[in-house]
């Protein structure tokens, strides 16, 4: 009962993070895919484990519904590891090549830097958008107050009780 009340009061915030966890069958499917990848493409799996590690960490740490930060980190990281993966596949997908790439500071730096950039992007953009929205609200409130004042002057309406919107 309490849960349903809380859910009706604030439907997004009240839902627990576990509600957004993938279904158990999907988890099995992911495990199967990962297992298949490790079995069939070990070098690729190794390289992904190193370069895509921050995105996986973000996915584990991000408890927000829909994991928006992990999603952003993953997308940016994917764009950064596309080059090393392509190189690995072009070189025959050997363990040696995978180890070289996985230990290459440039490749790892780009991949992790991209993950950091994705994280920053996911953290800073909401703040920026909120600033923009608040500025727009203030501007609209000022315009509305001015319109009200004009009506008060023209028609003799009583002034607003609280003319300054927060």
Distance from chain centroid for Cα 73: 6
Q: Does 166 bind another protein (CB under 8 A)?
A: yes
Choices 16-24, 33-41, 91-99, 120-128 (CB under 8 A): range interacting with another protein = 120-128
Looking up tokens 């995105």 gives: 55
Q: Does 141 bind another protein (CB under 8 A)?
A: yes
Taking CB under 8 A as the criterion, the residue among 79, 89, 91, 116 binding another protein is 79
CB of 147 to another protein, least distance (A): 6
Choices 41-49, 71-79, 92-100, 105-113 (CB under 8 A): range interacting with another protein = 71-79
In terms of phi and psi (left: phi > 0; alpha: psi -120 to 50; beta: otherwise), the region of 124 is: alpha
Q: How far apart, in whole angstroms, are the C-alpha atoms of residue 66 and residue 63?
A: 8
Taking CB under 8 A as the criterion, the residue among 58, 78, 88, 97 binding another protein is 78
* Inter-residue contact 83 to 33 (CB < 8 Å): no
Structure tokens at 131: 């600033």
The CB density around residue 48, as the number of other CB atoms within 10 Å, is 25
Q: Does 71 bind another protein (CB under 8 A)?
A: yes
* Identity of the residue, 6 or 32, whose beta carbon is nearer to another protein in the bound complex: 6
* Identity of the residue, 28 or 130, whose beta carbon is nearer to another protein in the bound complex: 130
């Amino acid at each position: 009962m309490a849960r349903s009340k809380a859910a009706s009061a604030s439907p997004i915030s009240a839902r627990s993070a576990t509600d957004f966890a993938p279904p158990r069958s999907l988890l099995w499917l992911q495990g199967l895919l990962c297992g298949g990848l490790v079995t069939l493409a070990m070098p690729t799996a190794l390289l992904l484990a190193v370069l895509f590690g921050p995105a996986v960490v973000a996915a584990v740490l991000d408890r927000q519904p829909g994991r928006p930060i992990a999603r952003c980190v993953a997308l940016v990281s994917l764009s950064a590891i596309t080059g090393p993966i392509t190189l690995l596949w072009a070189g025959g997908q050997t363990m040696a090549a995978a180890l070289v790439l996985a230990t290459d500071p440039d490749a790892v730096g780009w991949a992790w830097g991209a993950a950091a950039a994705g994280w920053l992007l996911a953290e800073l953009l909401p703040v920026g958008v909120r600033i923009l929205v608040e500025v727009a609200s203030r501007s609209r409130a000022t315009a509305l107050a001015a319109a009200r004042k004009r009506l008060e002057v023209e028609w003799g309406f009583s002034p607003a009780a609280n003319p300054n919107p927060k």
